[in-house]
């Protein structure tokens, strides 16, 4: 199965600079009501995004930034340090992707969340805290120019003022995203190596084996 590819993307960036945005906030557990990975965008940031959620008076919270006019259709999040910390729930990334988020720019990420992003075609860009702040300031200052352009091939992004920033990404992660690879398909090409390792492992460390 192939996955969603990522090569270049230009979209509205929404500043959410508080540090330690956890995956419970991104996708509250109470929004995970079915054994499914699709259609989860409605639950994204539910605790912040809605008032009176689940009642007859449910409505959008006008104070939450994604509900504000300037950020309608946002596809890039500018976040604080340790973005996506906490629970390993991949529902958080499925919800982001379903909502339309293609990239997240932050000084650092929760490790499991970061991998979940890569596996689902969402690009996690690590950028120095000061640069993330600068981008966020620009986005806030001029709502007419709140887009960021990302080029994954060159590992560069352009801020609203056109200034270019380079970012790092492991070659393996870059390739996964560029080619939309399914990692299981890729690894199955090494199944013979796995089988021969397994035989050796079982003889060398027999005590580990479950009969």
Partner 1 sequence: MKRTLFDKIWDDHVVTKFDDGTCLLYIDRVFLHERTGSLALVGLQSQGRKVKNPKQVFCTMDHIVDTFAGRGDETTMPGGSEFIRVTRERANAEAVTLFDLHDSRQGISHVVAAEQGIALPGTTLICPDSHTCTLGGIGVLATGVGSSECEHALVTQTLRVAKPGQMRVTFTGTLAPGTTAKDMILHLIARHSAAGGRGLAIEFAGPAIADLEVEARMTLCNMAVEFSAYTGIMAPDEKTVEYVSGRSYAPQANELQLAVEYWSKLKSDAGAGFDDELTIDCSEIGPTVTWGTSPQDAIPIDGIIPDPETAADPDVRRSVRRALRYMDLNPGAGLQGTPIQAAFIGSCTNSRLSDLRTAADILRDRKVKSGVRAICVPGSTQVKLEAEKEGLDRIFRDAGFEWRESGCSMCFYAGGEGFAQGERVITSTNRNFEGRQGPGVRSHLASPATVAASAVMGCIYDFRRLER
**Which residue number, 10 or 174, has a Cβ lying nearer to partner 1?**
174
Among 71, 74, 104, 116, contact with partner 1 (rule: CB under 8 A) = 116
**In whole angstroms, how close is the CB of 162 to partner 1 at the nearest point?**
25
Among positions 135-194, residues that touch partner 1 (CB under 8 A) are: 170-172, 175, 183-184, 186-188, 190-191, 193-194
Among 61, 67, 82, 147, contact with partner 1 (rule: CB under 8 A) = 82
Question: What is the C-alpha to C-alpha distance for residues 166 and 154, in angstroms, rounded to an integer?
Answer: 8
**Which residue number, 82 or 147, has a Cβ lying nearer to partner 1?**
82
DSSP helix/strand/coil, 196: helix
Answer whether 120's CB lies under 8 Å from 183's CB: no
Of the chain, the end-to-end C-alpha distance in Å amounts to 33
Stretch that binds partner 1, among 5-13, 61-69, 107-115, 159-167 (CB under 8 A): 107-115
Helix axes 171-179, 111-119, angle to 10 degrees: 40
Among positions 22-41, residues that touch partner 1 (CB under 8 A) are: 22, 24-25, 28-30, 32-35, 37
Among 4, 7, 72, 111, contact with partner 1 (rule: CB under 8 A) = 111
**Which residue number, 144 or 203, has a Cβ lying nearer to partner 1?**
203
User: What is the DSSP track for 64-128?
Assistant: SGGGSGGGTT--EEEE-TTBTBS---THHHHHHHHHT--EEEES-B-HHHHHHHHHTTPEEEE--
């Amino acid at each position: 199965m192939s996955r969603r590819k990522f090569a270049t993307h230009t979209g509205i960036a929404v500043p959410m600079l508080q540090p330690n945005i956890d995956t419970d906030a991104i996708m509250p557990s109470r929004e995970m009501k079915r054994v499914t990975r699709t259609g989860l965008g409605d639950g994204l940031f539910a605790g912040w995004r809605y008032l009176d959620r689940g009642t007859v008076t449910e409505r959008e919270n006008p104070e939450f930034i994604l509900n504000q006019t300037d950020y309608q259709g946002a596809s890039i999040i500018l976040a604080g340090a340790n973005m996506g910390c906490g629970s390993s729930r991949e529902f958080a990334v499925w919800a982001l992707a379903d909502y339309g988020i293609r990239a997240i720019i932050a000084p650092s990420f929760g490790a499991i969340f970061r991998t979940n992003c890569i596996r689902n075609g969402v690009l996690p860009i690590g950028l120095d805290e000061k640069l993330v702040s600068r981008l966020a300031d620009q986005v806030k200052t001029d709502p007419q120019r709140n887009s960021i352009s990302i080029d994954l091939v060159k590992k560069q992004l352009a801020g609203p003022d056109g200034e270019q920033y380079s970012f790092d990404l492991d070659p393996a992660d870059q390739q996964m995203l560029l080619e939309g690879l399914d990692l299981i398909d890729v690894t199955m090409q090494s199944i013979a190596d796995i089988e021969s390792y397994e035989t050796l492992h079982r003889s060398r460390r027999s005590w580990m084996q479950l009969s």
